[in-house]
Structure 1
Amino acid sequence: MSHDENKRPRKLCFVTIGATASFDSLISACLEPRFLETLSSAGYSDLLVQYGKDGKALFDKLVAEAEKLKQLGVAIQGFDFNRQGLTEEMRVAKGGPGDSEGVVISHAGSGTILAALRMDVPLIVVPNPDLLDNHQAELAEALEDQGYVVYGRLNNLSAAIAGSEKLRKSHKVWPPVNSGQHRRAKGLAGVMDEEVGFLD
């Protein structure tokens, strides 16, 4: 048997903090030894982190500290921002021929959430507690209650990986199919209501 035949299928955990706000605590949480061990145990081969405009120094420092864990078999890479959007990274996390379906771990920005849900890839949503007057926790909780995402907690991302494996099996299609009259509001509010499935 050749070396390639012994290689397990690629399974990607893609982490994104978004383009605007820093989210150092999510970068740190996804590079903790316990989380990397959880990924390896769940069959993940790769961790890709979109660390944003201010996260490179922290990412590089944490990856250097994690180098001793290379025997776990999780390859770690990162980048700051992709002007083309994150569709390609999410598509790789979705998996293709010969690869296993992975997961997206995302800040609770509505654009990123909708992109992942439309891609139909398991999604863990992690609210950023440092943002003022934000409703990210409410959004994550509502989507988890409806069975579309896993609400990820910074202090226990490992549990969210187990939750994403269950989410993959239950598989709910997005956007939700509703009976009755859809809300006809215009603008962003109307689009969000329709996407989330709110009715009059």
Structure 2
Amino acid sequence: MANPELPAKAAKRCFVTIGATASFNGLLKAVLEPGFITELQRVGYTELRIQYGDGAGEEIFETRTKELRDALAKDNFDITGFGFNKTGLREEMTRVKGQSIETEGMVISHAGSGSILDGLRGGVPLVVVPNTDLLHNHQVELAEILAEQQYVVYGKLSHLSAAIEEVEILRRNMRAWPPVRSGEEKYKHGLADVMAEEMGWQID
């Protein structure tokens, strides 16, 4: 089921990226759990598109999708994936917007700052899932503060299905952009200041 080419536009798509430099196979396994896919279907999703990373990720993807194939065929739900895209993921994220408000999907991403920025530029709801196995990183703190400022949904591997419902709340809030913040001047430059503060950079 691995396919480096973009599939035809789906009615409602969830795109997942686990990263390229430090693949997040825990996230890959979580989005290929039957319970997660069932919850996607419940709220109208028809496709799960996954950037699964390296050889280990491809093996997980192929094994899990093979196990799911028969059940998904009956439900008219597609799972497609690819390892890497040298041109970046912006087009994949943009296609999540769908053809209407009703078919707008979501992006689920590891908590790398570059992928978060790409996801936010796409203008669709973004779920950020930190990899807690990484040492000496700010992924959890970054996800927490971005969620607090209503930029993203903070997704947790232990209960990722809960993020699907939270996305719909974020979607409504996005239509009333910008999000409410605790201090009027604290993040006057928006996401740039949020991320700069988390990375320890000075905010002017």
TM-score range, shorter chain: 0.7 to 0.9
Q: 1:98/1:180 Cα in 2 relative to 1: closer, same or farther (>3 Å)?
A: closer
Q: Normalised by the size of structure 2, how large is the TM-score?
A: 0.81
When normalised by structure 1's length, the TM-score is: 0.82
Work out whether 1:167 is the aligned partner of 2:179.
no
Structure 1 counterpart of 2:53: 52
Distance (whole Å) between structure 2 residues aligned to residue 139 and residue 98 of structure 1: 28
| Offset, 1:173 | 4.1
| Structure number with larger C-alpha Rg | 1
Paired residue for 1:122, among 121, 125, 128?
Answer: 125
1:2-28 residue CA offsets vs partner (Å, 9 max, x unmatched)? xxxxxxx71000000111112111111
The 3 A distance-change label for structure 1 pair 193 and 50 is: same
CA contact (8 A) 2:149 2:179 kept: no
Consecutive aligned runs of 4 or more in structure 1 exceeding 2 Å deviation: 96-99, 172-184, 189-194
Q: Which amino acid aligns with 1:66?
A: L
For the residue of structure 2 that corresponds to 1:193, the secondary structure is helix
Q: Are the counterparts in 1 of residues 111 and 128 from structure 2 also a CA contact under 8 Å?
A: yes
Q: Percent identity?
A: 50
* CA shift for structure 1 position 182: 7.9
Q: Does 1:68 align with 2:70?
A: yes
Post-superposition CA distance 1:113-157 (Å, at most 9, x none): 011112111000000122111110100000000011110011111
Q: 16-25 or 104-113: which moved more? A: 16-25
* Superposition CA RMSD, Å: 2.9
Asked whether the 8 Å contact 1:12–1:46 carries over to 2, the reply is yes
How far apart, in 2, do the equivalents of 1:192 and 1:72 lie?
40
Q: Which amino acid aligns with 1:131?
A: L
| Bigger Cα displacement from structure 2, 174-183 vs 111-120 | 174-183
Question: 1:12–1:48: 8 Å Cα contact kept in structure 2?
Answer: yes
User: How far is 1:179 from its partner?
Assistant: 6.4
| Superposition pairs of residues 1-200 of structure 1, within 5 angstroms | 10-54=11-55, 55-70=57-72, 71-96=74-99, 100-171=103-174, 173=177, 192-193=195-196, 200=204
